[in-house]
C-alpha cells in the first residue's frame, strides 16, 4: 500500500512537471557563441533585469539581477541607499547584500517580525514558509540568510509594526501556516523523488526561468511583475487542481489551496501593498533625515525593501529633493553563469 501511494505521488509529480514545461530548458552558454552580450529585459520599474528568453518551446535560462542605487540631495550630508532585493535567491547574493548593508550607518528594513517580537528576530512562520519555497527552487530565503541583528538596523513596515503605532497585519493563522507547510512538504517530497529520474537542477532552473520572465515584465510599470507572477501562480494552481481531481481530490488539495492563497496575495500586492507601505516608511525616514541634516555629518541611510517598492520610493524621494544615481546590478539567480565564470 505504501509503495502504491509513493508511485501515485511520483506519477503526480511527473504530470505536474509536464504540465508546467519544467524540463524544457537550456542555458545561454549552451546555445550562444562565446562573448554574446546579454539582451536584458527589465521589470519592476527597471530595478530587475533578466537576460533569458524562449527559443521555440525551449526556455533559454540566463541570470536574474536586482539593482541598488544611491540618492543624494544638494547641500545634504545624507546619502540614501536604495537596496532593492528579491526574497529568494542564491546564498552568494545575500552575502553581497549583507556586506553592503553592514557598510551603512542606518538600515530601515521591510517587516520580517510581528508585533512586539525582539528587534532583529524573524517570525517563525515567515522563515519556515520562505525557506520551504526557496528550497523547492534550489535557492535560499532572504530571512534565513540575512542577519538582522545589527544595532543600526530598524524594522519600519506598516504591515508588521506594533499595533497601535500603525495599521498592522497579524501573522497567518496557525491552521493556515500548517496547511501551507504541509503543501510545501508534499512538493519537497515530489522533488526528492524526481531527483533520481530527471536533472533536478535543470528542472528547478526551468521554473526559475519562467518566474524570472514574469518579473522582467514592463519596466514602465513596477507593479506589472506582481500581476505576471499572479498569472503564473494561477496557471500552476490550475495544473495542480487537475491533478488533484485525477487523484480523487486528496493528494494535492493542500498544494492547490496554498497556491490559491499565494495567487491572491500577489494580486493584492499589485493593487495595494506598495504605495501605502512606502508612504509609511518615508514618513519615518523624514525624522531620521531631519536629525542627520541637523547634525551636519555625512551619513548613509539604507532602505532595504523588495525591488518592486523602489520606483515609488524614487518618486517620494524626488519630492524631497533627492536625485537617484546609477543603478548597480547584482546577480540574484545565477543560472547561466553558475559555475561557468
The pLDDT tens digits for 222-276 are: 566 566 656 666 666 666 666 666 656 555 566 666 666 666 666 665 555 688 8
- CA–CA dist 83, 300 (Å, integer): 12
Dump pLDDT digits (tens) for 158-206: 888 755 444 444 444 555 556 566 666 666 666 666 666 667 788 889 8
Tell me what pLDDT residue 319 has. Answer: 96
Tell me what pLDDT residue 239 has. Answer: 64
Dump pLDDT digits (tens) for 207-224: 899 889 988 886 566 566
- The more confidently predicted of residues 58 and 232 is 58
Tell me what pLDDT residue 265 has. Answer: 62
The residue with cell 492547490 is 256
Exposed, middle or buried by CB within 10 Å (0-12, 13-18, 19+), for 24? middle
Quick one: pLDDT band at residue 33, thresholds 50, 70, 90?
Answer: very high
Residue 8 has pLDDT above 80, yes or no: no
C-alpha distances out from residue 143 to 77, 178, 304, Å: 31, 19, 12
Tell me what the mean pLDDT of segment 137-146 comes to.
93
- CA–CA dist 246, 249 (Å, integer): 7
Please state, for a pLDDT cut of 70, what percent of the chain lies above it: 65
Amino acid at each position: 500500500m505504501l509503495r502504491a501511494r509513493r508511485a501515485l505521488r511520483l506519477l503526480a509529480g511527473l504530470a505536474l512537471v509536464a504540465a508546467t514545461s519544467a524540463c524544457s530548458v537550456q542555458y545561454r552558454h549552451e546555445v550562444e557563441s562565446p562573448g554574446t552580450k546579454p539582451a536584458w529585459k527589465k521589470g519592476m520599474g527597471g530595478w530587475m533585469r533578466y537576460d533569458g528568453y524562449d527559443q521555440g518551446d525551449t526556455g533559454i535560462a540566463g541570470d536574474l539581477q536586482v539593482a541598488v542605487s544611491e540618492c543624494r540631495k544638494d547641500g545634504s550630508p545624507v546619502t540614501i541607499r536604495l537596496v532593492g532585493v528579491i526574497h529568494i535567491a542564491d546564498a552568494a547574493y545575500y552575502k553581497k547584500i549583507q556586506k553592503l548593508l553592514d557598510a551603512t550607518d542606518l538600515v530601515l528594513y521591510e517587516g520580517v517580525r510581528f508585533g512586539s517580537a525582539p528587534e532583529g528576530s524573524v517570525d517563525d512562520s515567515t522563515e519556515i514558509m520562505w525557506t520551504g519555497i526557496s528550497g523547492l527552487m534550489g535557492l535560499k530565503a532572504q530571512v534565513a540568510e540575512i542577519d538582522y541583528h545589527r544595532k543600526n538596523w530598524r524594522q519600519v513596515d506598516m504591515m508588521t509594526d506594533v499595533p497601535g503605532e500603525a495599521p498592522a497585519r497579524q501573522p497567518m493563522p496557525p491552521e493556515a501556516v500548517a496547511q501551507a507547510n504541509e503543501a510545501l512538504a508534499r512538493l519537497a517530497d515530489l522533488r526528492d523523488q524526481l531527483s533520481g529520474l530527471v536533472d533536478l537542477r535543470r528542472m528547478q532552473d526551468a521554473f526559475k526561468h519562467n518566474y524570472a520572465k514574469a518579473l522582467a515584465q514592463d519596466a514602465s510599470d513596477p507593479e506589472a511583475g506582481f500581476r505576471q507572477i499572479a498569472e503564473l501562480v494561477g496557471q500552476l494552481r490550475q495544473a495542480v487542481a487537475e491533478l488533484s481531481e485525477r487523484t480523487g481530490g486528496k493528494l494535492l488539495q493542500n498544494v492547490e489551496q496554498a497556491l490559491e492563497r499565494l495567487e491572491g496575495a500577489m494580486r493584492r500586492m499589485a493593487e495595494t501593498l506598495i504605495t501605502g507601505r512606502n508612504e509609511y516608511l518615508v514618513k519615518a525616514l523624514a525624522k531620521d533625515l531631519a536629525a542627520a541634516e541637523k547634525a551636519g555629518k555625512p551619513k548613509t541611510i539604507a532602505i532595504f525593501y523588495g525591488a518592486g517598492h523602489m520606483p515609488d520610493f524614487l518618486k517620494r524621494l524626488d519630492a524631497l529633493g533627492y536625485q537617484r544615481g546609477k543603478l548597480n546590478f547584482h546577480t540574484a539567480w545565477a543560472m547561466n553563469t553558475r559555475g561557468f565564470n
